[in-house]
Amino acid sequence: MALIEIEGPDGKTETMGGTYDEKTRTITSTGGNRKVHVSQNDRVRSYEGCFIATEVYGGINKPEVIILRKYRDEIIIPLGYIGKKFVKFYYKVGPYLAKFLHNFPSLKPMTRKLLDKIAYKCENKLNKS
């Protein structure tokens, strides 16, 4: 799942959480309840990363990273405008923060403690929904 932004030829954009199939130019929304066909004139961008967590935990398939991604897809993005804006903001600043942590590894243990708490709370919320 990812945050997907569709920009039409008129410059208007729509964002949604889901998956994008380049072959069929079809977006399936998070939860699968909506399919959108994208025309050849539309520009599609997909934002997927959990940059900071991936850097701190050492990979995209670590359990905490998966929880945080799932929380983004199932809780934050469906919030609508505010959720999508938050995710877009994170995708702008996240890579820089991840690079900073890469360059200063002594900060990773403190960041990991914080992310552990966040991932724990996210997992609890996901289990309740």
Separation CA 17–CA 30 (nearest Å) = 5
Please give the share of the chain, as a percent, with pLDDT higher than 90: 33
Tokens of 47: 């934002």
Confidence (pLDDT) at 109: 97
- In DSSP terms, 6 is beta-bridged to 14, 44
- In DSSP terms, 13 is beta-bridged to 7
pLDDT range class, residue 68, cuts 50, 70, 90: very high
| Domain positions in the chain | 2-47, 51-128
Each residue of 4-27: pLDDT tens digit?
Answer: 778 888 988 777 777 788 889 888
The per-residue DSSP string of 73-114 comes to: IIIIGGG-HHHHHHHHHHHHHHHHHHHHHHH-GGGHHHHHHH
